[in-house]
Each structure stands twice: as C-alpha cells, then as structure tokens.
Amino acid sequence: MTDPRALDGSGTDQVFVVFSPSGRRGLVPAGTSVLEAARHLGVDLDSVCGGRALCGRCQVVFTPGEFHKFQVSAGPGALTAPGAAETRYARRRSLAPDRRLGCSAQLLTDAVIDVPPESQVHRQVIRKRAEAREIEVRPVTRLHYVEVARPDLEVPASDLRRLCTSLADQWPGLGDDMTCDAHVLGTLQKTLRNGDWKVTVALRGGNRIVAVWPGLRERVLGLALDIGSTTMSAHLCDLATGEVLASSGAMNPQIRFGEDLMSRVSWAMMNPGGAADMTRVVREAATGLAGETAREAGAGPDEILEVVMVGNPVMHHLMLGIDPSELGFAPFALAVDRAIETRAAELDITLHPGTRVYAPACIAGHVGADAAAVILSEGPYRRDDMTLIIDVGTNAEIVLGNRHRLLACSSPTGPAFEGAQISSGQRAAPGAIERVRIDRTTLEPRFRIIGVDAWSDEPEFPTDARVTGICGSGIIEALAELFLSGLMTADGTIDGTCRERTGRVFADGRTFSWRLAGDICVTQADVRAIQLAKAALYAGSRLLMDRLAIDTVDRVVLAGAFGSHIDTTHAMVLGMIPDCQPDRVFSAGNAAGTGARIALLDHEARHEIEQVVRQVEKIETATEPRFQEHFVDAMAFPHRTDPYRRLRRLVDLPEPRAPAAQSAARRRRRP
Amino acid sequence: MTDPRALDGSGTDQVFVVFSPSGRRGLVPAGTSVLEAARHLGVDLDSVCGGRALCGRCQVVFTPGEFHKFQVSAGPGALTAPGAAETRYARRRSLAPDRRLGCSAQLLTDAVIDVPPESQVHRQVIRKRAEAREIEVRPVTRLHYVEVARPDLEVPASDLRRLCTSLADQWPGLGDDMTCDAHVLGTLQKTLRNGDWKVTVALRGGNRIVAVWPGLRERVLGLALDIGSTTMSAHLCDLATGEVLASSGAMNPQIRFGEDLMSRVSWAMMNPGGAADMTRVVREAATGLAGETAREAGAGPDEILEVVMVGNPVMHHLMLGIDPSELGFAPFALAVDRAIETRAAELDITLHPGTRVYAPACIAGHVGADAAAVILSEGPYRRDDMTLIIDVGTNAEIVLGNRHRLLACSSPTGPAFEGAQISSGQRAAPGAIERVRIDRTTLEPRFRIIGVDAWSDEPEFPTDARVTGICGSGIIEALAELFLSGLMTADGTIDGTCRERTGRVFADGRTFSWRLAGDICVTQADVRAIQLAKAALYAGSRLLMDRLAIDTVDRVVLAGAFGSHIDTTHAMVLGMIPDCQPDRVFSAGNAAGTGARIALLDHEARHEIEQVVRQVEKIETATEPRFQEHFVDAMAFPHRTDPYRRLRRLVDLPEPRAPAAQSAARRRRRP
C-alpha cells in the first residue's frame, strides 16, 4: 500500500494523523494543533473557547505505539509537551493523566489521536429502552468564545460589527452574515468592556446572536416542558451534552378552573377573561418550574436559552395565549396547526431575553403537540413494522402506522382511567392502590400502594399504611383480576353468585360490589365507567386499523403516565388494546416529555417532526359511524378470541364465564 | 400590421384590451373582468378587497371611441353595465360618472382601459424640489381582504392554515408559505368569527401576517420619526398612497437631561440609570407623537404598522435602549452600525402588537442614521455630479461624493449656529431675528423676526412686535452683512473706526460690539464663536474634498432645519461652504425626515440605503492633521478669492477691507 503522504506530494514538514473512532486521517503541517488538524480533516472535536486552553472541551487521548492498521508508528514525542496554558488548565480544572488539550498539543510526528465521546460535538443520549431511538445532540443554540478587536478610530466599525467579524474569523464555518436580537444591543457595549473584549456568544441556528456574556461561559441550558391537564413536568438539560441536570413537576394550577379539559374550555367560554386567567397561571407555573430546576442545577433561570413545550391542544393554546373555546365543540378548530417558535418573553416566561420557546404542531382538534412529541419519541415513521401508540388521558391520543403511512385520532375515554368517576378512585398519589392480584382459589386480593414497595400480604407492609383509594392502574388490574378469577363475567357483571365463595362480594342496591380493602370497593358502576373508557380506547384503535385494513398490529406502545404504570397483560385482558403479540406491547413512559427533550436537544428533529406531522392523516372519531360500532363491540371483555387464547399462555386465565346477559339470553332461548 | 389576436390563434370568444398608460395589451376571454385582465397582463391595478366591489381601489376609466394607435374600436357596450355590487358601491362610497370598478366591469368587446394614478399599486409621491427624486410607494406592508373557508370536521385544518390557503388562493402572487406573528394567534379565532370568515390581513414582505382585522379594512399607516436632539418630528403616512395624513412636532424631552448631545452623553456616564431615563422619555414622546398624528388623521394608533426612525447616533442609541456613553469619547464606538428592524413593542412604543420599527444604519460615531436618511433623500450616489451635503447641527454631518464614491465625516461645529454661546442668541422661535440687511451707505440695519412677515422698516411691521433675540440664520446674515458693509474686517474684527460713521458700533470692554436692535447686539465674542463654527464646517468639507483631490464641488445641499433657513449667499459670504456655483447651492429642508419617509414608503429604498451606507468611507476629523490646518485657514472671511469674486456678481460686495491685524502689520512695515 502506498504511503498516504505520497498522495499529497508534500515534503517532510507534513505529519500523518489518524483520528479515532472516526478513522479520518490525513497530512497536516508539523506543528499543527490537534484541534486545527481535527477541523481541517472534518473530525468532530468540540470547543467552546475556540482553542484557547480555557474550556477543556477538546480533550483527546494520545497513546504512543505501533498502529499497523493505520500504518502509523507514533513515538512518545509525537505531540509537544504541555505548555503553560495547558498546565494552567490542568491545575485549575484538573486534566486526567492520559488526556491532552487538543488546542494546545501540537503534532510533531505521525500520531493516532483518540477523541473520547465527551469531546465530540455531536453526541447521543442513550435511552434505556432497547427499542427506543437514541437522542442526537444537535442543539439549535451553541456557545462561542471570541476575542473581539478593540474599537479603532481609524477603522470605524461598530462593536457589533467587530464582534461578528471576530466570530467569523475565529470560528471556522461561521459566516459573517449574522443577525442579532435587539435586546443584545442594549448591553453589548458594557459586556464587551466588562469582559475586556473577551466574550461568549450564544449563536442560534449558527447565525443569530441571542446572548453575549463577558468572559468564558461553558454552559447553556434548555428546558423541556410537558404541560398536562393535571400535572406539568420539566426537564432541564445541558444543551451541549444532552444531560438532564434537573427535573421537576407540579400540579397544573388551572385545576382550580376545572378538573378536566372540557370543564376548562367551558370556563373559558362562560367567563370573560377566563382563558386569560388560565393562561396566566399556567405560564406562572412554567416559570416556576424553570426556576426550580435551575436552582436544583445550581444555575440561574437566565441560563436557559431554549424551551420546548408540548401539551394537548387546550394546554397548547392556553400556553400560547389562545382562547381554547373553539376546541370545545365541533368542528374543534385549532387556531394553528404548525410548529410555533416565539420568545419566552412573549409568553411572559421570564428567563433570558433571548430565550426562545418552540412548540411542536398540534395535529388536530383533540390531537395535540404532545402527540407530535410522542410520535417524535417513538418514531413509528422510521419503522417498517406497524406500530400502534396509545397515549391515555381524558382524551386518548392514538397513532397508528409505519414509514409509509401514519394515522391519528383521539378517543373520548373520559376521566375514569385517571381515577375520576370511580367510587373509591383517586389520582396516582401516595396511598393509592396501584397493583391488585386475586388468588384464583381463595379469591383473596392482595395489593400494593404507591409509596410502599411491599405487597399488602407481605410482612414488610407497614401495619399503619394508609390506603386512601384506588388509582387508574389499580382499577385496571382489579377489573382484570376480577374477570380472571371468575368474580366478574365477560360482559362486566360482578357475579352475585360468588357470594357463596367469598364474603367480599356483596349486594349494593340492585347490583353487586366487591370489597378490596377497608371501605375501598369496586362497584358495578365503577366497572361500567371503565368499560366505557376502555371501549372508547379500543374503538379508536380499531378505527385507525380499519383505515389501514389491518386486524393486528406489530407493536403497541402505551405512552403517558398512566400508560407507563399499567400492566400491559392486564390491559390486554381488559381489551383496552387490539390484538398484538404480548411481548410486543411496550410501555414508553412519558413519551411526550421525551419527545420534547428530543426537540430541545436536536434541532434537526424539529424539522423531522414538522414534516411528519404534515403527513399524518387525521381521523375524526365523532363523525365515523364505525366508531360507534366498534365502541359497542368493545364493551365486553375479550373471550373466546385468538388474542385471549394467546394471553392464556401468559397468565393463568381460566376458561371465561359466559357473559351473564348472554347466558340469560341463551337460557331464554333454550327454556 | 398583423392583428395581434391572430398571434394568439384564439377564436371569437377573445377580446382585445389595451391598458393605458402602461400600454400593456393582450387577448382575454370575453367576460373577463377588467381587474382579472389587468392581472393577467401584468398591469398595475390596485385592489384591497381582492375583486369584491368593496374597496374601490381598482377604479378605471373607459371611454368608447376609435383608438387607431392601438387598432381598437371600442363601442359604448364594450363593458358590461354596472351590476348590483358596483351600484351598491357607487351609492355607498360615490363613484365618479366616468369611473368603473375594474373588478365588476367585464370586457365584452375590444376596449382601451385607462388606469388613473390613484388606482395603481406602484405610485410616486412627487416632491416639490425640481432636482429631488420622486418617492416610490412600495410599502413593506400591504392589506389583503380574504374570505376564509369555514372549519370542517372532515378536513381538519387550523384556522391559520385555512387563512393562509385562502390568501394564496384568492391573491395571485402570494405563496402559501406564510409565517405569522405569535400575537396574531391569540385573537385570530375571534377575529375570523366576528368577521363572519371575511377578514383583512396585513402582510409584511408578502409573507408574514402581522395583523388580521374582521371585515374589510382599507388603510394601513406608517410613521416617519425624526428624532433630533432638540426637536422631534413625525409624519403619518398612508402606506398605500404615500400621502402624508398628519404631521406633528415636539421638543425632545431629553433636554431636561442636557441641552446638547455631549451633555446628555455626560448625563448617561455620570448617573446610574441616566441613559434608561432618557430612553424612557424619548420613547414616551415618540408614542405621544404617534398618538397625536393618528388623532389628527382620525385614526387609532393601532393602525400604524410601520415606523421608520432616524436620528443622530446618540438619539438612535437612546431610542434603541443603548447607553450612548461610548459615543462620548474616542474612539466613539457605535454599538451597531447596521439597519435595525425590531418590534415597536420592544421599544415600549405602544401601537399595534405587529408594528415594526426600522432604523437605518448609523454611519460612524458622529454620523448617524439621520445622515443615512439624508443620503437616501438626496441620492448623491445616483448622480454623476459631485455633491456636498451639509446637515448643520451641534455636530455637522458632511457627505461628499457621487455614484462612484461617497465620503462622510462629522465636524464639531458646536451649538453657536443654534443660537447658543451667542450673547443675544436664541433658538428659532417667534420673536427671533432671522433675517438681517445693512444699508451699505447709511449702515442702518433692518431685520425680520420669526412670526412676522414684514421687515422691520416696513409700515406693516407691528410697533409692538417683541424682538426676543437672534437665531442661527439671523446671526449668519448679521455677520455677512457686517462684513459686506465694511463694519467688520475679513479676519472678523468689528472695526472700531466705524464709530465715526454709525452710532451702532460701540466699545465693549477691549473690543467693539454692534447694536442691531434694542439691546440685541453682536459682540466680538459672538463673531469669534460663529467663526469657530463655520471654520469647523468648512474644514470638514475641505477634508473630504482633499480625499477626492478636488477643489470645487458641483452642488452643495444644505440640509436640516438650520440649513434650510439660512440664505445660501450669506453662507457663502461667510465662507461656511466651499467654492461652488451659487446657483448650485440648494436648501433641502428636513432631508433626514424626508429620507425617513422614503424608507417608510419604499422597502426597496431600505435595501438601497443599506448597500450605500456600507460603501460610505468614514473620515475621522479628530485624527486628521489636515483638519486643523483647514480649520485655521477657514477662520477668516473669504476675500480676494475666486469664489468671492463670483459672489460679487450676485450681491453688492465691496472691495473688502484688509483684515485689521494685517493692515496694522502693513502699517508697521511702512512707518
């Protein structure tokens, strides 16, 4: 093989350098710094200070030795010894023994240079779930340290112009056609002078100056906000590393205007200024979460330069200051269904004056920016297999498709899954029953409550544990277990005849109830409420499947706080989701929040989801006759069906009892 | 000549139409409206309502007859008779008998259609001065009436999306890639419904929605603001016609922080929050002027969607919220020297939330956005002849050049021209002497005061007229006349020997003074102050001429309030301006304000001046040794020079007296 330097035809003043793991290689003049060589060869090596041995982002590893693979023999003296600047950095900030600053170490002879992951500009945030995509860290806002030329009477150029010229000169790849936020102008001159003409610039999109600080600044933060009707959550991230520095949650203070979405829309419709009030309190809460997470991370709220905000259409509109009244009735017209980018200040969220807020597009009147974020997080549009994504809430948002086609709808499940409309129901909070099992023989239940790890029948279960109610996942499991243990028929009737076998079933007016623990019972009305909710959920999914003319899906992803807490097997027993291989049902956790984080860290993902959302086919359940059909069909619990038979292999499913009504009918037919 | 319709090869259903004055012609299907035909043929015919017989902007004139020139014979029935919509418009809004609505009148047979100037989108505002360029009316913001599709459950698209689609459908030339201000979203849904899905959209740059109003709206306004250190002026314009609807002026309230620029900069430097205070009051005053002019025009301030603001660097920076301290000392660093476009709301100027403010670029530390506006107004960069533009103020801004090269500098004239530092000096205000003549024989003066048309020696001059002082133009004329009448020598000494000829010259300490009227005198110190000012002015001009290696200029334009009031001949007698043909010295009035108006009405002019400003060569007088030389040379009054000889032909110039000092020296030499 030819010596690669021969290709270049250069003299002996050239050295051959190979970067790992990229494998990029080439000749550079002896004396070139590793950082310059990396830039020259297109190697991804980070730097904020622009090569001044200040930020330490360009750390590399050099090991002398023979690298036959690369035809490189690197002596220990391949790099210059650490100079004054690097030594100062090592003393001030500590530098591992095997590390060198790429900006200071100069190449004297051939070398192989290793770029560790944390020194790469383009990183990935690894997600825990095996099937989830990694998050690329390609933030829209980056920091650039720059030394600005001082003003000169002979060459009159404004401070801003010299700043831009210095940036373009000192940062390869930056043009000098930069624009600048107006607020920056107000403080620019003082900042430049306070920093003795050395400043750090936050550049947005590579060409807009949104902030300037004196001296070296190494961190810029972003906030991913998920505005739920009930709870709001915030994740504060380092925009350069993707690391989550702090997380916080809060109740949505709009609850005082109405428990669920529709009551808030009604509030807006009935009360002049009602929408504005709800906008104000949710923005205050968002500002509060930003401050809280910043405090936790030891940062100021003004270090947050990017915010991504997702929520259902009503939350989305209220955050943007849009009265959501139109979302309260057909045709459920959104004000806007494209991505929004605006200033945080315009939303009265007080962070840095240059902070931007990005909100992905709402998809339809009941399918919000949170659904867009879920799609971004789960990426069905990148897959060949057919994925059904269900984000359960008062309105379930359902997405079905693959890389060829993507459909979305919402289904009015009502608040039963959130514990509302359930006699002993409550929100998921400490003391709420979240897991239920019923012994198939003794018919005795055991349960787990939020906040306590032990099951109720285990010795570790505290005797004084306060059991306050049953939350959504608890009621799902309770119903599935009642059905599996034969205490409930397939049509959802608590079977009074079981009173012979257990004292927990008791007559409760004209129907029967089942006592779970203390005075916490499951009534027949509770069962009906959950049946309505799960039938709506199922019917929505079926409607989308009809459109694609499919009967099964390859994967089911349950998203949302509720979706991540329910046991997927029990959900299948209940018939909440269509037929699917049980091991292909996943719980995605707060996928909307994850999607917000992806959009926060990766500006290319924003374009991606904007494209995808535009392609999503919106199905309106309210006007689809088939929705009603599916809804009615889905009221009963699945039995004698293929999926049910498959489930039997997973859980100890009994031969189900015939629905009471059906057996009665059958009895009538065969007197 | 071939019948033009033959070229088209179309059948008899086509009619031939010629538009005048454009001369554009072509075939259109019979039944086409005149507006559609105009659009099809690229004829400039206005419309706000988009062809719905509502706005009346598309009025045309049709006269039947033979038009041999166009080979057209038009019968009286060439256009359809006025229909219901047009009749309704004529009743409601009145329509001249010879006018038709282009959107309603359909072409039945061949016709020649005249488009009157007020029906053209692209208009010109004719300026009074023969040598000034006309103002093109090409506003950045235009109105578009649109009927928006109602929301449809089956085709879910947000209100904004349907608005954009409807705009693109109904307005040829508009794309559907529109963006939208965030504030529009908050009110969009109500606006659409209040307008029963008929709204008027203000589009900025053809693709950004900045305002939406219910129903038809026909007027959008713009404000040209000239922020002077002493006075602020505002012109409110109709952005579509270019018409000035109202004008107003106010004292700059910053005066309370300092009379002149440098004392305001000092205030900012010495007082914490001082710059912010000055910013606040000037913005309040700007908002006040906007409100005042809007009231005068019978409009709301929220009809103003565009503001153009010009001022010297200190005023410019303070309006933008930038502390001007750096402009107070060398190297006089501007914060920004490019054009700024921002929201009025960001400058706390409360108009419409979509209102934008545009500020042309400052050129250098002492050459502001006002100078850029003067350049735009006077357009030296479009001319072959060499133009010298002098905008006189505390700092004179001087521009010299032609289409090949343009130079600018400022010269520290001090406030003498504004009446400050003059014993009887005052600002130009009623009662101030503004014109002075001295009889060459009797040496008796006569004068005119501001607010009175008659000269002081005329019978119409009121006996009780209050003469309060002498303003800048008055002192210029007084000095020139003193010199011309021999009362003052060429080196600027009031000649005590003249006491023999007039009682108005009197000893005043060790020098002499001259009494003009009552106790209003011109002292030797006054003469020195004006000499310093005019020498600075002259030296600045000469410095630029040196750079271009020229000794004369082809044109001199005196701009600014002061420049437009002084008599050019007297200015030349005084030696304020370099040599030029006296009939090529023009007074441009408030050229900065005119430039602001041009930038307001013509967005292409903005690009033009941005390009030009970038090319301007900035000359710093403070560091130029030749400036001092010119300054010293220019202290005396011009005499025995070519220009002076030329002037003698214009005014009754005597053979000048030799400077007193020189004659004394001569006397000494010849004892």
User: For residue A53, is pLDDT > 50?
Assistant: yes
Q: Does the beta-carbon distance from A334 to B154 stay under 8 Å? A: no
Q: Among A193, A199, A336, A341, pick the best mutation site for testing chain B contact (most B Cβ within 10 A).
A: A336
Task: Quote the distance between the C-alpha of residue B396 and its chain's center.
Answer: 17
Q: Which residues of chain B have pLDDT under 50?
A: 1-10, 655-671
Written as six digits, the tokens of B640 are 């025995």
Give the nearest chain A residue to B276 (CA atoms). A186
Q: Does the beta-carbon distance from A186 to B160 stay under 8 Å? A: no
Q: Is pLDDT larger for residue B565 or for residue A389?
A: A389
Render B182-216 in DSSP notation, one character per residue: HHHHHHHHHHHHHTTTEEEEEEETTTEEEEEEES-
Q: Which residue from A159, A180, A620 is facing B153, i.e. has the nearest CB?
A: A620
Query: Which residues from chain A sit within 8 angstroms of residue B160, using beta carbons?
Result: 335-338
Q: Does the beta-carbon distance from A338 to B161 stay under 8 Å? A: yes
Q: Are B595 and B376 contacting, i.e. CB atoms less than 8 angstroms apart?
A: yes
Residues 359-378 of B with CB under 8 A from A: 362, 364-365
Give the nearest chain A residue to B337 (CA atoms). A158
Give the nearest chain B residue to A317 (CA atoms). B186
Task: Quote the distance between the C-alpha of residue B332 and its chain's center.
Answer: 26
pLDDT at B659: 46
Q: Is pLDDT larger for residue A623 or for residue A648?
A: A623
pLDDT at A333: 94
Q: Does the beta-carbon distance from A337 to B160 stay under 8 Å? A: yes
pLDDT at A589: 84
Per residue in B466-486, pLDDT tens? 999 998 889 999 999 999 888
Which of A129-143, A309-323, A428-442 ranks highest by mean pLDDT? A309-323
Residues 547-576 of B with CB under 8 A from A: none
pLDDT at B649: 60
Q: Is pLDDT larger for residue A581 or for residue A323?
A: A323
Q: Does the beta-carbon distance from A336 to B153 stay under 8 Å? A: no
First to last CA, chain A: 93
**Which distant-in-sequence residues (6+ apart) come within 8 Å of A193 by Cβ?**
none
Q: Which residue from A189, A335, A364 is facing B335, i.e. has the nearest CB?
A: A189
pLDDT at B23: 87
Give the nearest chain B residue to A192 (CA atoms). B335
pLDDT at A648: 60
Give the nearest chain A residue to B186 (CA atoms). A322
Residues 611-630 of A with CB under 8 A from B: 618, 620, 622-623
Query: Which residues from chain A sit within 8 angstroms of residue B323, using beta carbons?
Result: 186, 189-190
Q: How confident is the model at residue A415 (pLDDT cuts 50, 70, 90)?
A: confident
Q: Does the beta-carbon distance from B336 to A151 stay under 8 Å? A: no
Query: Which residues from chain B sit within 8 angstroms of residue A333, using beta carbons?
Result: 151, 158-159, 189
Environment class of B597 (CB within 10 Å of its CB; exposed 0-12, middle 13-18, buried 19+): buried
Q: Does the beta-carbon distance from B188 to A336 stay under 8 Å? A: yes
Q: B181 CA to chain A: closest CA distance, Å?
A: 9
Give the nearest chain B residue to A367 (CA atoms). B156
What is the DSSP secondary structure assignment for residue B564, as one 8-state letter? Answer: H
Q: What is the mean pLDDT of residues A607-613?
A: 96
Query: Which residues from chain B sit within 8 angstroms of residue A325, using beta carbons?
Result: 189
H or E element in which residue B408 lies? strand B406-411
CA separation, residue B344 to residues B250, B307, B309 (Å) = 19, 8, 11
Q: A212 CA to chain B: closest CA distance, Å?
A: 13
Cα angle B376, B380, B383 (rounded to 5 degrees) comes to 130
pTM: 0.85
Query: Which residues from chain B sit within 8 angstroms of residue A154, using beta carbons?
Result: 620, 623
CA separation, residue A535 to residues A411, A528, A543, B103 (Å) = 10, 10, 12, 56
Q: Are A232 and A278 contacting, i.e. CB atoms less than 8 angstroms apart?
A: no
Q: Among A154, A185, A318, A349, pick the best mutation site for testing chain B contact (most B Cβ within 10 A).
A: A185
- Cα B77 to Cα A313: distance, rounded to the nearest angstrom: 57
Cα angle B86, B92, B94 (rounded to 5 degrees) comes to 75
Tell me which amino acid residue A8 is: D
pLDDT at B651: 60
Q: What is the mean pLDDT of residues A471-489?
A: 91
Q: Is pLDDT larger for residue B444 or for residue A646?
A: B444
Q: Which residue from A323, A333, A620 is facing B154, i.e. has the nearest CB?
A: A620
Strands (E), A194-318: 198-204, 208-214, 221-227, 231-238, 244-251, 304-311
Query: Which residues from chain B sit within 8 angstroms of residue A322, using beta carbons?
Result: 185-186, 188-189
Q: Does the beta-carbon distance from B335 to A156 stay under 8 Å? A: no
What is the DSSP secondary structure assignment for residue B18, as one 8-state letter? Answer: E
Written as six digits, the tokens of B178 are 């529109």
Task: Share the mean pLDDT of chain A.
Answer: 88
Q: Does the beta-carbon distance from A160 to B185 stay under 8 Å? A: no
> Nearest 5°: phi and psi at A20?
-120, 145
Query: Which residues from chain A sit within 8 angstroms of residue B333, using beta carbons?
Result: 151, 158-159, 189
Tell me which amino acid residue B85 is: A
pLDDT at B5: 46
Written as six digits, the tokens of A581 are 């291989």
User: For residue A188, is pLDDT > 90?
Assistant: yes
Task: Quote the distance between the C-alpha of residue A549 and its chain's center.
Answer: 30
pLDDT at A175: 84
pLDDT at B3: 47
Residues 148-187 of A with CB under 8 A from B: 151-154, 156-161, 180, 182-183, 185-186
**Which distant-in-sequence residues (6+ apart) come within 8 Å of A353 by Cβ?**
A181, A183, A343, A345
The ipTM (two decimal places) reads: 0.84
